Amino acid sequence: MSLAHRIIPCLDTDGERVVKGVQFVNLRDAGDPAALAARYNIEGADELVVLDIAASRDHRPTFLETIRRVAAELAIPLTAGGGVATVDEGRAILRAGADKLTVNTAAIRHPELLTALAAEFGSQAVVLAIDAKRVGDHWEAFVRGGSVPTGLDAVAWAHKGVECGAGEILVTSMDRDGMRSGFDCALTAAISRVVNVPVIASGGADTPETFLEVFREGRADAALAASIFHDRIQGLGELKRYLGEHSISVRQSG
């Protein structure tokens, strides 16, 4: 009996429609978020993440409506985010039906935002998202959808983010994002070693073996993927059966 490793489908949206790209560019339409949410809820996803990757102020009401539509389909937890910069914006996302919110760019500029969000909603509702790219012998955190380097060491930032109040880390390897070349286990393990909160690995998901690796070598508590699930390259039930057969604790579904 132990905490199950989570499998988390991710819906990257432009606020309204699910989009997908490779290494954060070349976006194309991949469907209706509520329809995909309904499907993953039935197929045994452990949680769902919905991100507004456009994150423009003008589209915020549209994204909140998307969260409401997605939440209505789910009997599992929902995490949402994209461009959250204030406690009020965080509250709007949680009120719309999310259980947790992700913070990225704004937290790097103002780490005290994590503290304020945790004080208001509890650490369990605050997920620090980090987009990390290999630079020489370390990983650097990038912001604005992966377009702007920060000069911050991603592992050190994860550690500081947790000290500030983050209750979970969602780390995306920009080198692996959309490449289907396996998760960056070294990155995930490096972060997992320095924090005592759950770590969600993202970027590079492919075969069931890549999930096994990120749970074993990468020491991840959860693994997130988008296109392999959207495009039905990998079924959730089949993936979980494989992991269970390889002694990874998972919640078998269906």
Partner 1 sequence: MNIALVEYGAGNLPSVERALTRLGVESSRASTPEALADCDALILPGVGHFGALMRSLAERSLVKPLHDAVASGVPLLGICLGLQAMFASSDEAIGDAGLALFPQNVSALPPTDRLPHMGWNQLRRVRPSALLEGVPQDAYFYFAHSYAALDAGEAGVALCDHSAPFVAVLEQGSIFATQFHPEKSGPVGAQVLSNFVRRAGSKQ
Buried b (16+ CB within 10 A) or exposed e, 132-153: bbbeeeebbbbbebbeeebebb
CB nearer partner 1, residue 30 or residue 34: 34
Interface with partner 1: number of residues (CB under 8 A): 34
Dihedral (CA of 53, 93, 172, 182) sign: negative
Q: Which of 12, 46, 177, 206 is catalytic?
A: 12
Please list every residue from 198 through 237 that binds partner 1, using CB under 8 A.
198, 221-222
Stretch 76-95 residues interacting with partner 1 (CB under 8 A): 76-77, 94-95
How buried is residue 118: exposed, middle or buried, by Cβ count under 10 Å (0-12/13-18/19+)?
middle
Interface region with partner 1, contact rule CB under 8 A, candidates 1-9, 10-18, 55-63, 202-210: 1-9
Told to check if 75 binds partner 1 by CB under 8 A, we report yes
Q: Considering beta carbons, is residue 152 or 195 the nearer one to partner 1?
A: 195
Q: Choose which of 24, 121, 139, 142 interacts with partner 1 (CB under 8 A).
A: 121
State the catalytic residue, choosing from 14, 46, 52, 131. Answer: 131
Active-site annotation holds for 12:
yes
Cα angle: 177, vertex 178, 182; to 5 degrees:
70
SS3 (DSSP) at 168:
strand
In angstroms, the CA 84 to CA 95 distance is 14
Query: What are the backbone angles phi and psi of residue 182, rounded to the nearest 5°?
Result: 95, 155
- Contact window for partner 1 (CB under 8 A) among 25-33, 44-52, 54-62, 232-240: 44-52
Greatest alpha-carbon span in the chain? 47
Q: Which residues are catalytic?
A: 12, 131
**Footprint of partner 1 (CB under 8 A):** 1-4, 6, 41, 44, 46-47, 71-72, 74-77, 94-95, 97, 99-100, 121-125, 167-168, 196-198, 221-222, 251, 253
